[in-house]
């Protein structure tokens, strides 16, 4: 049964790469977009915590 399912009626070499490429592309896009958001969130947090300290030093 699973053998037949994964064989895709002899077309496994076409069906699975199609799904695989879709999964890889969509996952990569999602992860890079997420990483970009996390990076900018972290940088913004650093900057905002840096700002008040500067004001204390130089009023």
Q: Taking a C-beta distance cutoff of 8 angstroms, is the pair 23, 31 a contact? A: no
Task: Show the binding pattern over residues 1-40: x = contacts other proteins (CB under 8 A), - = does not.
Answer: ----x--xxxx--xx-xxx-xx--xx--xx--xx-xx-xx
In whole angstroms, how close is the CB of 3 to other proteins at the nearest point?
13
- Residues in touch with other proteins (CB under 8 A): 5, 8-11, 14-15, 17-19, 21-22, 25-26, 29-30, 33-34, 36-37, 39-41, 43-44, 47-48, 50-51, 54, 58
């Amino acid at each position: 049964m699973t053998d037949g399912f994964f064989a895709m009626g002899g077309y496994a070499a076409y069906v699975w790469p199609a799904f695989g490429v879709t999964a890889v592309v969509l996952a990569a896009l999602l992860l890079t977009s997420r990483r970009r958001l996390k990076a900018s969130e972290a940088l913004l947090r650093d900057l905002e915590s840096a700002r008040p300290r500067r004001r204390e030093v130089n009023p």
